[in-house]
Chains A and B, each alone.
Chain A
Amino acid sequence: GEDVEQSLFLSVREGDSSVINCTYTDSSSTYLYWYKQEPGAGLQLLTYIFSNMDMKQDQRLTVLLNKKDKHLSLRIADTQTGDSAIYFCAEIAHTGTASKLTFGTGTRLQVTL
């Protein structure tokens, strides 16, 4: 079955770059995702990448995809205290009836002053 793995915790200083890594197993995933969960809230889609892309940039966010190694990363430039949250990567599987996401364990990003 699918298994998505992430490290559990990352601490960075404000203004530095953060890199959150993820490995996944389902090579047939058409999209891979990064969701953000702020304290006391549900998840919100941060960005996604189509599987035929290597990189996607969106303002301070850069997503890198290495399909050969099944490795996904999220880089946040100029990390701010408001970026403190749990970040989940996810892969999609298309069943006959619906598209299901498999989430990683989540990486808690702590931004220090």
Chain B
Amino acid sequence: DVKVTQSSRYLVKRTGEKVFLECVQDMDHENMFWYRQDPGLGLRLIYFSYDVKMKEKGDIPEGYSVSREKKERFSLILESASTNQTSMYLCASSLLAGGPNEQFFGPGTRLTVL
């Protein structure tokens, strides 16, 4: 079974703090993704990575950065957290190409910025 794990289920941070969200997958997938989920807005893609050290901006990258030093790990970084970054963050992974490209999701991290 594919397993995508996220470092925390719940996180509370203060405005201005630097926040790290970690995601690990165990199926040797090339692609990894970070989304945020907000009520009424669905999932919005923040960043994705198709290989180690490679990254591309998604639809809402402002205020975020990412790091992929190892194939299995993809980190989302909030350089200076703000209250409008309070959200549910979901990580996903998939194979590089071919077929329906199913994305496998982690359980999510609910981040609250005070």
Contact = CB atoms under 8 A, between A and B. Distances in A.
B60 interface: no
A8 interface: yes
B36 to A, nearest CB: 11
A47 B43 CA distance: 18
B54 interface: yes
Nearest to B42: A105
B90 A33 contact: no
**Contact residues of A: prevailing secondary structure:** strand
Interface of A: 1, 4, 6, 8, 31, 33, 40-45, 48, 50, 88, 92, 95, 97-106
A6 B107 CA distance: 23
Given A44-B105, A88-B42, A98 B31 contact: yes
Given A4-B42, A95-B56, 16 more contacts: A6-B42, A41-B108, A42-B92, A42-B106, A42-B107, A43-B90, A44-B105, A45-B104, A97-B54, A98-B96, A100-B33, A100-B48, A103-B35, A103-B43, A103-B44, A105-B42
Contact of B100 (A4, A48, A88, A105): A48
A28 to B, nearest CB: 15
B17 interface: no
Contacts of B104: 45
B107 A88 contact: no
Interface string B31-70: 1010100001111110010100010101100000000000
B28 interface: no
A106 B102 CA distance: 18
B107 A41 contact: yes
A42 B105 CA distance: 6
A103 B94 CA distance: 16
Given A103-B43, A105-B40, A40 B56 contact: no
Given A98-B31, A98-B48, A99-B94, A43 B42 contact: no
Interface in B17-36: 31, 33, 35
